[in-house]
Structure 1
């Protein structure tokens, strides 16, 4: 009998398949039905890494919703800090967009990034999306297997719909529109992008998708 028989040859596996990294998998899946395109596995580069990029509309028309949106952002920052996920925060309003935080793991005093944010001016969504596109493209170059989730919080008062950032694995549009007469701009944006859409009033019950 060959003494080598029964011994595992170099390069052979034990027959156990790769382990699913559930945090990144659920972050990529979100509220959708799980399929194989969402699966992320332990052992890949940055397999446990998730980047949540939040893009906040700070225009004048958002003033009625801004406090609630900021409260949810603060809760999300605190939760993602515990999970050691990367976070970025972009604010757009007036005629420009600016990166206020990240990408980095928020570790302490998250209020300092969120509470000072005010509202005013127009709704330059293309500028906010352009800033997110640059940030997400850079993140993809650094960590190709990182799951990148884009959250856009806006009341949808926009004239043009920019292209969806190609580096985003998942996009959620948070509809912040108020009033008896609504224009539905956030829903149109989500439809054009093939994104999820949830209203701000329901966001507290909406899973970030980072835990089982």
Structure 2
């Protein structure tokens, strides 16, 4: 799930998030994982990439992803839960959820039950940090990785 809200556009957070997204997709490609991508901004949640086997990715694929508006985190998490429920039907399939966000949302949706593993990558920057991505990760019992420490 990629937060494409207006706050992610500020300070280059969305550009950094796109780089992390490409790295995650490359890892998925090497493992032959199935992937999907939800982008959310304003009042919309867009299924940018329907569930499928991971393929090779490049900058041209993520470049058109833009940013603006609010952060509809609750609806995005609800749609992710539906995707995971549909895509992970076999007993051996384990659903992973990666959330790339700066946490600038008042929503605190529950963790999707269908997500066996959750990782939050926190892109919040600046002098005034609210820590909402970290708080959400704690609420979900998930790991929270700082984007500036992503290697």
SS at match of 2:88: helix
Cα distance in 2 for partners of 1:197, 1:168 equals 15
Q: Which runs of 5+ in 2 are unaligned?
A: none
Measure the CA separation in 2 of the matches of 1:188 and 1:81. 30
Shift of 1:112: 4.7
Q: Distance in 2 between matches of 1:82 and 1:167?
A: 24
User: 2: CA distance between counterparts of 1:72 and 1:106?
Assistant: 15
Which consecutive aligned stretches of 4+ in structure 1 deviate over 4 angstroms post-superposition?
none
Q: Secondary structure at the match of 1:173?
A: strand
Per the alignment, residue 149 of structure 1 pairs with 96
Q: Match of 1:67, SS?
A: helix
Residue 43 of structure 2 corresponds to which residue in structure 1?
A: 95
Q: Please report the TM-score for the alignment, with normalisation by the length of structure 2.
A: 0.92
1:45-64 correspondence runs (5 A): 55-63=1-9, 64=11
Residue 107 (str. 1) matches residue 52 (str. 2)? no
- On the 8 A contact 1:126/1:162 being kept in 2, the answer is yes
Size of the alignment, in residue pairs? 149
1:187 and 1:75 mapped to 2: Cα distance? Answer: 21
Q: Secondary structure at the match of 1:151?
A: strand
Aligned pair partner of 1:131 in 79, 99, 110 = 79
Partner of 1:189: 136
Structure 1 gaps of 5+ residues are 1-54, 205-212
The Cα offsets for residues 41-67 of structure 1, whole Å up to 9 and x where unpaired, read as xxxxxxxxxxxxxx0000000012000
Distance in 2 (CA, whole Å) between partners of 1:107 and 1:192 is 32
Larger Rg: 1
Counterpart of 1:118 in structure 2 is: 66
RMSD: 1.4
Q: 2:19 aligns with which of 71, 75, 79?
A: 71
Distance (Å, rounded) in 2 between the aligned partners of 1:58 and 1:195: 21
